[in-house]
Structure 1
Amino acid sequence: MDTLVLILDLVGTFVFALSGATLGVRRRLDIFGVLVLSFIAATAGGITRDLLIGATPPAALSDWRYPVTSLAAGIVTFFRAPLIEKLHHPVRMFDAMGLALFAVAGTQKALEYGISPPMAAAMGMLTGIGGGVARDVLLAQVPLVLRAELYAVAALVGALVVALGHWLALPALPCALVGAGLCFGLRMMAVTYGWHLPVALQSGGDGEPPGPLT
């Protein structure tokens, strides 16, 4: 089980680091800025999860494989940005992959630390969205989780599959694969077809712009 969580975490770290580094390259950051962004995007969610469940010091800070993995992804992206950009919607694809992997890995690790299945699913969702939120805040833009098509919801669905599987005493690996696949598929379908949660009307439906806040 520890090996499964480690593999999911490291693969998720790599792909989330790719998404952060790709955005850094697009914003014309220097190599230091790209590496910082890749590290933050890849580890912020996991660090937050570990602190909340009492897994201290966080794995991303105590295990050399996490920073090496994220920095390697940043270096690859910095020097091979044109190759990365040839992929269709590279940032969103890498982000969806990282979201799926971190959601299931975060849930599984929380369960190992004795967290109840519902709260473990919440920890999984937090693991998935934390890195993207930190990345977007550093780039001075509204976090993707607050404006994208079914972002946190997709992470929560994948996390709930793992939590439910644990509650039903089902094998962990199939549940993790199903949860990750469902999260990734739902996220990419939402991107493709524009699925999103309801958004409040700004003008009350009368066509007039909203007035100033008081």
Structure 2
Amino acid sequence: MFQDFFTPSVQHGLDVAGIFVFAISGALLAVRKNFDVFGIAVLATVTSVGGGLFRDLVIGAVPPAAFTDLAYFVTPLVAATLVYFLHPEVTRINRAVSTFDAAGLGLFCVTGTVKAYEYGLGLTASATLGLATAVGGGVLRDVLANEVPSLLRWDRDLYAVPAMVGAGMVALCLRYDALNPLTSGLAVITAFSLRMLAMHFHWRAPRAWNRRSATPDEA
């Protein structure tokens, strides 16, 4: 059933949508970091195509779509241009970055899982690559912006878990032949909502059991 919905044109459209929202988040972070116009474009591009590039290399979809489809190249530049001229006030940038990043997280955990499955991977491997697709660009963005990736920081709200839930929902739908526009949209919304709720209520993953440290910086 999912083949009827995830046609190449639908997959392409969802990928471009995910690229756009992730590019917005990368460009906004570049503005917050006071990057120049070239830095804004680079961070937007890396954030938006980094996870998908990794996915395509792993599943053998070479050359990766980021190098063969003009839309994958132009979309981040359009997003970077919009942010360059129309970015919100500095006090609102952080919230905007987080919101667009959560939207990209939701979209890419779904499209990444589906594409990996279409290339013959099992359900667990497909969900894992869906997670990597969702978080890979954000990790590269943070590294280039000289920040510890949110994925690895104990003092940051849940980041990977919402993508894991979304990718897991897609895998279950594939297992029971129930993937359709409704369930796919539900997976996107669930991942997005979990990320937004985690930021609002400051949900965080636990650290090592009974961990103690005498060093304040590591507490």
Please give the TM-score of this superposition, normalised by the length of structure 2: 0.89
Question: Counterparts in 2 of 1:73-92, with a 5 A limit?
Answer: 73-82=79-88, 86=92, 89-92=95-98
CA distance in 2, matches of 1:211, 1:157: 31
SS at match of 2:82: helix
Residue of structure 2 equivalent to 1:105: 111
Residue of structure 1 equivalent to 2:189: 181
Deviation at 1:59, TM superposition (A): 0.7
Residue of structure 2 equivalent to 1:190: 198
Residue of structure 1 equivalent to 2:135: 129
Deviation at 1:87, TM superposition (A): 7.2
SS at match of 1:82: coil
**1:169 pairs with one of 165, 177, 202:** 177
CA deviations on 1:174-207 (whole Å, 9 max, x unpaired) are 22111111100110000000001002489727xx
**1:94 pairs with one of 94, 100, 103:** 100
Structure 1 unaligned residues grouped into runs of 5+:
none
Contact 2:173 2:183 in 1 (8 A): yes
Identity across aligned pairs (percent)? 42
Contact 1:121 1:156 in 2 (8 A): yes
The code of the aligned residue for 2:201 comes to Y
> Which range is displaced more, 16-25 or 140-149?
140-149
Quick one: structure 1 residues 193 and 153, their matched pair in 2 at CA, closer, same or farther if it must change by over 3 Å?
same
SS at match of 2:157: coil
CA deviations on 1:26-45 (whole Å, 9 max, x unpaired) are 11111011000000000000
* RMSD across aligned positions (CA): 2.2
Runs of 4+ residues over 3 Å off in structure 1: 83-88, 200-203
How many residues align structurally?
A: 210
Contact 1:77 1:84 in 2 (8 A): no
**2:207 pairs with one of 184, 199, 208:** 199
Question: Counterparts in 2 of 1:19-38, with a 5 A limit?
Answer: 19-38=25-44
Contact 1:202 1:209 in 2 (8 A): no
Contact 2:170 2:179 in 1 (8 A): no
**1:118 pairs with one of 124, 130, 133:** 124
CA distance in 2, matches of 1:14, 1:87: 17
Deviation at 1:173, TM superposition (A): 2.1
**2:168 pairs with one of 160, 167, 183:** 160
Residue of structure 2 equivalent to 1:52: 58
CA distance in 1, matches of 2:93, 2:215: 39
The code of the aligned residue for 1:70 comes to P
Tell me, yes or no, if structure 1 residue 64 matches structure 2 residue 70.
yes
Please give the TM-score of this superposition, normalised by the length of structure 1: 0.91
Residue of structure 2 equivalent to 1:4: 10
Residue of structure 2 equivalent to 1:151: 159
Structure 2 unaligned residues grouped into runs of 5+:
1-5
CA distance in 1, matches of 2:10, 2:164: 20
